[in-house]
Amino acid sequence: MKKWKRLKKRLILTVKIAAGSSLAIGIAQNLQLDYAISAGTITLLTLMTTKWETVKLSVFRLVTFLVSVITAWIAFAHIDSIWFSYGVFIFIIVFLSETMGLRATISVNSVIGAHLLTSHNFTVASIWNEFLLVVIGVSIALFLNLFHDNHNREKDIIADMRYTEGRLQSAIRNLADYLSDGEIGKEALDGICKLEEELHEFLKEAYEFQENTFQSHPGYYIDYFEMRQGQCRILHDLYFEMKKIQSIPEQAVIVANYMLYLADYVIELNEPSKQMDRLNSIFDSMAAQEMPITRTDFESRAILYHILMDLEEFLAYKSRFIKSLNEKQLDKYWN
């Protein structure tokens, strides 16, 4: 399913680039513009971005157009050597673009420069020709980048959230089983590592969704998956903490039962105050117990206490996530 979704995204982008570039060239030819094919190139270069990036890049391309024309006139009209004048032009354009943080505009500005270098024509008609090429290219890109399957993409993100919660619940239960019976297989770690890799992809999808939608508060999904990444890292560390236990202390059953209880509340719409209160009561209960006698028991009890601290941080990730939400996000996603 994931492979099909990735293939679908590539196909949609490919069709948009091919259709948009062809349309841009066709419009430029109908307007009888010189270098009409460059309109298609500009569309291609602009479409290789997200919706918000396309808007920003289109504005920057238009804003820097005048800078490119002036730079071309300075370099080409006053330096006879073709290769040297183009080198001076590129040097200035790249330097200015990098200084202003507009690296993405370099490609189109260099195309404009190549046209002006070839024609050595700085008349109003020639400059208007270049301006129209840029306008056509970015306009087609802007229009096509308005069309994104954001409804289904958001449904996929929500499905990834439910999947993540299920995998975290499973991982917690596997770790709890180890504290109960003293056996834990490598498949438990493999499952956590796989989820870490998947969360990296889910986070990328959330960022793409944010950049391709004009709706309010899409950053919620980014914050959600970052929170789950942090929780997954804690479970990763818990696995290795548990592997250090040489003998399972009797208090391990209490911690295991708590973890089984906690797993049921690894869901999106849960505020973990009750889970935190129950964890604090376990801390108090363990602190009131007699100190272990042997060194092995002492070390195992210390590791068990550290596990509880890790579980506390696991809950803290969710608490911090909830506190970071504003009223509009709470109203949209939690009510």
Residues 55 and 175 occupy one common structural domain: no
What is the pLDDT, as a whole number, of residue 10? 82
Q: How many residues does the chain have?
A: 335
Picking from 144, 167, 193, the residue at the C-terminal end of a domain is: 144
Residues 261 and 113 occupy one common structural domain: no
Is there a contact between 239 and 175 (Cβ–Cβ < 8 Å)?
Answer: yes
Residues 139 and 154 occupy one common structural domain: no
Instruction: Render pLDDT for 249-262 as a digit per residue (tens, 0 to 9).
Output: 778 888 999 999 99
The angle formed by the CA atoms of residues 207, 210 and 214, to the nearest 5 degrees, is 165
Residues 128 and 197 occupy one common structural domain: no
The DSSP element (H or E) to which 207 belongs, if any, is helix 186-211
What is the pLDDT, as a whole number, of residue 188? 83
Picking from 126, 144, 162, the residue at the C-terminal end of a domain is: 144
Which two structure tokens, joined as six digits, stand for 82?
A: 């073709």
Residues 156 and 56 occupy one common structural domain: no
Residues 161 and 307 occupy one common structural domain: yes
What is the DSSP secondary-structure string of 287-325? Answer: HHSPPPSSHHHHHHHHHHHHHHHHHHHHHHHHHHHHHH-
What is the pLDDT, as a whole number, of residue 293? 63
Residues 132 and 265 occupy one common structural domain: no
CATH number at residue 174: 1.20.120.940
Sign of CA dihedral 320, 323, 328, 334: positive
What is the pLDDT, as a whole number, of residue 207? 87
Residues 122 and 257 occupy one common structural domain: no
Residues 139 and 210 occupy one common structural domain: no
Amino acid found at 193: C
Q: For the chain, list residues with pLDDT below 70.
A: 1-2, 48-52, 149-150, 182-185, 214-218, 287-298, 300
Per DSSP, the three-state class of 271 is coil
Picking from 128, 144, 160, the residue at the C-terminal end of a domain is: 144
pTM score: 0.73
Q: Which residues contact 60 (CB under 8 A, 6 or more apart)?
A: 102, 104, 105
Which two structure tokens, joined as six digits, stand for 278?
A: 């129950």
Distance CA 81, CA 150 (A): 51
Residues 104 and 252 occupy one common structural domain: no
Residues 305 and 234 occupy one common structural domain: yes
Where in the sequence is the domain holding 87, given as residue range(s)? 2-144
Q: How many domains does the chain have?
A: 2
Mean pLDDT of the chain: 87
Residues 173 and 282 occupy one common structural domain: yes
